[in-house]
Structure 1
Amino acid sequence: MERTMRKRESLYLHALLALVREDFEHNRDLATGAFDEYEAMDVRPTGIHRSKDAHQRAVFALAPELGALADRATDDVDRQRLDAGRGTEQYAE
């Protein structure tokens, strides 16, 4: 049985993703225009008068970009871990 989100759930998810976006903007060096599609929608989590569909479209605009940014951040951390051990082979003898 397929279940769709209710408006309250859409608003909540939109608010959570907006908070993650805000954190990314303050703590990471983001490419200019990373959230242009979302910004163009002009739908904010606090806009409870907007339709459920508008909030769901906003979620679908935020989620892939946030996922890609998180994936790149994870790759950067993994790369740093790999690089951390380089040059220490001389101490293993």
Structure 2
Amino acid sequence: MKKQELIHLHGLLSEVRNKLNQKNSSPIDIPAYETQDTRPTSIHHSKEDHRKAVLTLCDGITTNLMEEKTEFIVSHAD
């Protein structure tokens, strides 16, 4: 994947996280991502930095979504 594509993906994942934070009452906490200094706007950072950030965001978002408690509504036919 090219660096420009990674930066674009990084930005998209950041937007997904922002939307999920707006939707959920508790924000998605990804300490491993917060400690990195590479953000989608950090175009001067290396391709490897953006790759690590993308993987960290993916892991944090999916972990959070897996941990969400989902209420199942059982439908009954009358």
TM-score class normalised by the smaller sequence: 0.7 to 0.9
Q: What's 1:43 paired with? A: 38
SS in 2 for 1:42: coil
Opposite residue 27 of structure 1, the aligned amino acid is K
Number of residues of Structure 1 aligned to a counterpart in Structure 2 = 78
Over the matched positions of the two proteins, sequence identity in percent amounts to 29
Per-residue CA deviations over 1:19-64 (Å, capped at 9, x if unaligned) read 0011111111336x72111010021101100111110110111001
Name the CA distance, whole Å, in 1 between partners of 2:12 and 2:72.
29
TM-score (norm 1): 0.70
Residue ranges of structure 1 left out of the alignment (5+ in a row): none
Aligned CA RMSD, in angstroms, stands at 2.2
Question: Which deviates more, 43-52 or 60-69?
Answer: 60-69
Which portions of structure 1, spanning 4 or more consecutive aligned residues, are displaced by more than 6 angstroms? none
Which structure has the highest helix share of the two? 1
Q: What's 1:57 paired with? A: 52
- Structure 1 position 15 matched with structure 2 position 19: no
Residue ranges of structure 2 left out of the alignment (5+ in a row): none
Structure of greater Rg: 1
